[in-house]
Amino acid sequence: MSFEFDPDALRRIRTERGVSQRRLGRLIGRTATNMCSYEQGRIAPSLASLAAIARALDAHMDDFMKAADDRELVSA
């Protein structure tokens, strides 16, 4: 089983902590636009950014991950 970044978890944890996208971006050296892109699933943060997000939100990196669908599409 593999894991991937969960944008919904980022949004949930950030809002539970009462931190705005702008504030979180400043805390980790990114922009509010980056935070929005992460939360919308358009891009995934690098491992370094994810570690910084986890530290800033007093969370574990695992909290931002979900199981990925490992099935590969096979054409007949």
pTM: 0.85
Say if 68 falls within a structural domain. no
Domain, as residue range, for 13: 3-59
- Structurally, the chain folds into a number of domains equal to 1
Residue-by-residue pLDDT tens, the chain, 76 positions: 788 999 999 999 999 999 999 999 999 999 999 999 999 999 999 999 999 999 999 999 999 999 887 555 555 5
| CATH code for position 17 | 1.10.260.40
> Quick check: is 75 in a domain?
no
Q: What is the pLDDT of residue 34?
A: 96
Q: What is the pLDDT of residue 74?
A: 53
Q: What is the DSSP string of 11-73?
A: HHHHHHTT--HHHHHHHHT--HHHHHHHHTTSS---HHHHHHHHHHTT--GGGGEEE---PPP
